[in-house]
Structures are given as C-alpha cells and as structure tokens.
A = this chain, B = another copy of it.
Amino acid sequence: MIDHLRRYMPILDWGRTYDRKAFSNDMIAAVIVTIMLIPQSLAYALLAGLPPEAGIYASIAPIILYAIFGTSRALAVGPVAVVSLLTASAVGQVAEQGTAGYAVAALTLAFLSGGFLVLMGVFRLGFFANFLSHPVIAGFITASGILIATSQLKHILGISSHGHTLPEMLGSIFAHLNEVNWITLAIGVSATGFLFWVRGNLRPALRKLGTPPLISDILTKAGPVAAVVATTLSVWLLGLNDRGVKIVGEVPQSLPPLTLPGFTPDLLSALLVPAILISIIGFVESVSVAQTLAAKKRQRIDPDQELIGLGAANLGAAFTGGYPVTGGFARSVVNFDAGAETPAAGAFTAVGLAIAAVALTPLVYFLPNATLAATIIVAVLSLVDLSILQKTWRYSRADFTAVAATIVLTLGLGVEVGVASGVTISVLLHLYKTSRPHVAEVGLVPGTQHFRNILRHKVETDPALVTLRVDESLYFVNARFLEDLVQKRVTNGCGIQNVVLMFSAVNEVDYSALESLEAINHRLKDMGVGLHLSEVKGPVMDRLKRSHFIDDLNGRVFLAQHDAWAALSKQNGQAKAAE
C-alpha cells in the first residue's frame, strides 16, 4: 500500500530523510528564486493577458503540488513565457481580454491541461511527447521568443496594438506608431538596456571588484527587482502615470483565492485542443530541463510520474486563480545553481511568494508595464537561437526543413499552426526517408565470411545468385518499394537462379510487408527463381512463423549469410557441372 502510494507521491521518499542541512540549502535557494520570481510572475501574467496577481497565484499552489507529486528535485514550476503566449492565443479566441470570461477561460485551460496531463500519466503515455522532434522544439521556441518579444513592443512604445502572428503584430505596430508615448519609451528602453547589461556584464564586473560569488549571483538575479524599484519610484515621484505611462495599478492584497474553472460544454470543447497542445509543449520543456538537472547529480526522473506532477500543478492553478504552468528553464536552473536539494525548496518559494502576495502588492501600484515588458523581452531573447538552422543544415536537410518550416509557420500563422505543422512535417519526412530504404547488393569479401556492398568493396559475386541487404525495417510505407526493387533486379539480370534477402538490419516486418514478401516469393516462383532469407532476427522470425510465408517460401532461411553463400553458390556449381 505504502509502496503504491510512494510511486505516485515521491514526497514520501525524500521526505523521510529530510534533515537540517538539506533544509538550510533549500531555504537559501528559495530566497534567491523568490526574488527572481516576483517581477517575472507579474510580467508573464501581462503576457498571458491576465491581471498581474494571476502570475503570482500561478506560482504558489502549483509549486506545492509539484513538490508532492513530481520526481525532479530541482524543477521550479510556474508561469513560463511560451506557455503564457499560448494561453493568450488560446483564451483570446474565446473571450475578450480584461473581461471576467477571459480569466475564467484561463482557469479552464489550466484545468483541461491538468486533467489531460494526469490522464496521460495514469495511462503512462509520456512517449507521446516524443512526437515533437528536437529541431521542431528548437524552431518553435525560437519563433515563440521572437513573437513574444514583438508582442511586448507595444508596452515599450506605449501604444495599443494587436495580432497573434508576426505580420499582424508588425502591421498593427506600424499603424499605431503615431501614438507613441515618449516617456514610456524612455522607461522601456532604459529598463531593457539595463537588464541586458545586468545579464551580460554585471556578474563579471562584480567579481572583478572582489565581490564574493554568492553575493554577485544574488545581485545579478536581483537586477529585474532593481529595475522594478527604480522605474516604480520614478513614476510615483514624477507623477508619470498622469502623463500617459501605463502602470500595473491596484493589485488585490490576498492569498490565492479559491476559483472555479468554467464547465460549459462550449468552453470546454473550444479549449480542449489548445489545452492538449499546451500540455505537451509544457511537458516536453519541463522534462528536458528536469532530465538535464537530474543527470548532473546521477538522479533520475520518471517521465510518466512527471506528467502526474505537472498535471496536479495545473489543476492547482485552475482552482487558485492561476493559469497554465509548467517547469521553467530559467527558474529551475537558478534553483539548482542556488543549491536546492529537494522539492521543499519549491515549497519555501511558495511561502515567499504568498507573503509577497499579501504584503508587497501595494508597492507595485506605480510599476510601469514597460518595465515588465523589458523583463520579458530580455528573458525571451535568450531563447532565440537561430544557429539551429545552420546546425541542422549541415547535419541533414530533412531536419533543416522541419526547423525552417516550424519557424516560418509559427511566425507567419501563429503558435498553434506552427507547432502542429512542425510535428506533421517531421513525421512525413521520416516516413519519406524510410519509404526509400537503402538496399545494398552484397558480395563476399575474399578470404573472410563478411559480405559487403559490391559498389563500395572488391568482393566475390556469383551471376546466378543475387544477395540484397535491406537496411530498414519493412512496413507499409516501403513494402512496395522492395517489391519493385526485387522485380527490377531480377527482370534486368540474366541467368539469376536465386535471390537472398539479408535481413540483418530488418527490425520489423508488418502485415503489408509480409504480403509484399509473399508477392515477391510468388512472382519469383513463377519466374523459376528461388527466394531465400538470411540473418533474420529472433523477434522477426517469431512473427514470420505465425504466417504461412516460411512454409510457402520457394527457398530456405539461413542463419548466417555465409551459409547461404556456401549452399547456393555450391548448388549452382553442381548445376553447372551437370550441364
């Protein structure tokens, strides 16, 4: 019973051995992460089109629930940039930003996403996330980073603009350029410049001045807080909000409220597909971060249990005024680097954020939106990495095509179309590649028992015996290819008496391929040519034996290719001698 519980609640595992040292390490990590998260949570809420407190609420219950159900010891769960953008895109289709319906739709999205993740976890379907190839993810993240940064330009410029795709956004920005608020622009540009400088130069500068590493780190992490404080003070002291600078305004002083997602069938069905998409993208991002961090300490994470942990976190967000969350890259790395040992660090962060929600929210009244936009821009531009285009171009045109299509379609048609097309294109390209497998005609390397490609090596051959090595599993997409290939080879050749298919790299033969093999066998029989197999793997042979193919085979099955050569070459020699 306890074992069963422990499988679904890893807290029962690490909780029993929790000690003072782990506690103090976790506490330090929590302080650093909390400082970083306060402005970030407000900013991502803005990106999702929600009131700022939603970002903080989305970081409290979810963190605690993930600490109970998740398997990664360093993952920090909460709002992240890409999921916030996806939320804005999905919720924007069913409700107007700023209305009560918008917030409810965001809760519903978190609820559906949480439910979907838990279901996937219970049925152990984590492998579905693998349909997102690395190049598609990289292309998608890069394009999303560009989209997100562009979407924040309106806050920096102090104008109102719209759009979910790059052309829409840019068009709308150009159309509203006459409305630019120059004070907002000054705040936005200086905050962005300052944050870029902090990110790139502050730490080395402090270290040069002799500041100890830990302090340098904390000061660097606190950069956004400094920008927040400085710009908030400027707005307050100079009364800039009366001169058109948009500010965060009133934020309720409250612990996360109890909230209910919407359960109307219309809303649920409209948000189902986006929720699935958000779940999968969030899961993939989260698992890759968790896996990387776990490996550094020779720990392991369980992807199926991660689904349950992230699902619980999203369900938590749905009932406490949040919106979809996942394990974020930046916050998790900070948590890990700051020395977090167990998920308790997350729980302490949650407490810190709860205190902030109750005590600090009045302080952000005069915080300009431009500063939050600057925080987002600096954070997401680090996600933009166009070098993936160059890397994949060098490695494989198919992968390059998938990346390029994902980037172009995400920018041009929006995040949902982009990622769906990316997945479809990767799958089609893979099927296309396997549809024309490499098949080598092989001969004997003299003096050995090895058989190699006759085009690449000097080998012995026998004109009456053709051996084809099939370098691919045989299934419906390439079954007919093999049929054509064998028939072409036999029709074009002269005096061929035997064909051997060498199956050393055939890992599967599905029913379509079985029928193709039967057709090949049948046709060769009609032509008076023998068909033989060699080096068939155990599992493939087991399966072939379930059909009549082996019984009907107009030839034999040889364990090793050399046995086939010995038997058929000799038989052929005897035939010649008899003539």
Q: Does A168 contact B (CB under 8 A)?
A: no
Chain A, 469-519, CB within 8 A of any chain B CB: 471-473, 475-481, 483-484, 487-488, 491, 504-505, 507-508, 510-512, 514-516, 519
Chain A contact residues: helix, strand, loop or mixed = helix
Interface hit among A76-84, A272-280, A293-301, A562-570: A293-301
B511–A395 touching, CB < 8 Å: yes
Chain A, 129-176, CB within 8 A of any chain B CB: 129-136
Chain A, 505-551, CB within 8 A of any chain B CB: 505, 507-508, 510-512, 514-516, 519, 522-523, 526-527, 537-539, 543, 546-547
B547–A395 touching, CB < 8 Å: yes
Interface hit among A85-93, A412-420, A424-432: A424-432
**Would you give the 0/1 interface string for A292-313, flagging 1 where the beta carbon is closer than 8 Å to chain B?**
1001101110010000000000
Q: A127-B432, A505-B507, A507-B471 are in contact. Are A134 and B512 (CB under 8 A)?
A: yes
Q: A135-B512, A295-B526 are in contact. Are A472 and B130 (CB under 8 A)?
A: no
Chain A, 14-36, CB within 8 A of any chain B CB: none
Candidates B132, B512, B543; contact of A133 at CB < 8 Å: B512
Q: Does A576 contact B (CB under 8 A)?
A: no
A504–B507 touching, CB < 8 Å: no
Q: Does A394 contact B (CB under 8 A)?
A: yes
Candidates B127, B430, B478; contact of A481 at CB < 8 Å: B127
What residues on B are CB-neighbors of A473 within 8 Å? 434, 472-473
Q: Does A6 contact B (CB under 8 A)?
A: no
**Would you give the 0/1 interface string for A403-443, flagging 1 where the beta carbon is closer than 8 Å to chain B?**
00000000000000000000000110011111111100000
Candidates B395, B396, B432, B507; contact of A472 at CB < 8 Å: B507
A510–B295 touching, CB < 8 Å: no
A508–B392 touching, CB < 8 Å: no
Q: Does A233 contact B (CB under 8 A)?
A: no
Q: Does A225 contact B (CB under 8 A)?
A: no
What residues on B are CB-neighbors of A519 within 8 Å? 291-292, 295
State in angstroms the CA–CA spacing of A487 and B290 once bound together. 14
State in angstroms the CA–CA spacing of A522 and B431 once bound together. 30
Nearest B residue (CB) for A399: B511
What residues on B are CB-neighbors of A508 within 8 Å? 433-434
Candidates B391, B488, B543; contact of A396 at CB < 8 Å: B543
Q: Does A456 contact B (CB under 8 A)?
A: yes
State in angstroms the CA–CA spacing of A303 and B484 once bound together. 9
State in angstroms the CA–CA spacing of A356 and B539 once bound together. 58
Q: What is the distance, in angstroms, from A9's C-beta to the closest C-beta of chain B?
A: 21
Interchain residue pairs with CB less than 8 A apart (19): A129-B480, A130-B435, A130-B477, A133-B477, A134-B476, A134-B511, A134-B516, A287-B480, A291-B519, A295-B519, A296-B526, A298-B526, A392-B511, A394-B547, A395-B547, A426-B476, A430-B477, A505-B505, A505-B507
Q: A131-B431, A394-B547, A399-B510 are in contact. List 19 more A-B contacts (CB 8 A).
A: A129-B480, A134-B511, A135-B476, A135-B511, A287-B480, A295-B519, A298-B491, A300-B487, A303-B480, A303-B484, A395-B543, A396-B511, A426-B476, A427-B431, A430-B510, A472-B473, A473-B473, A504-B504, A505-B507
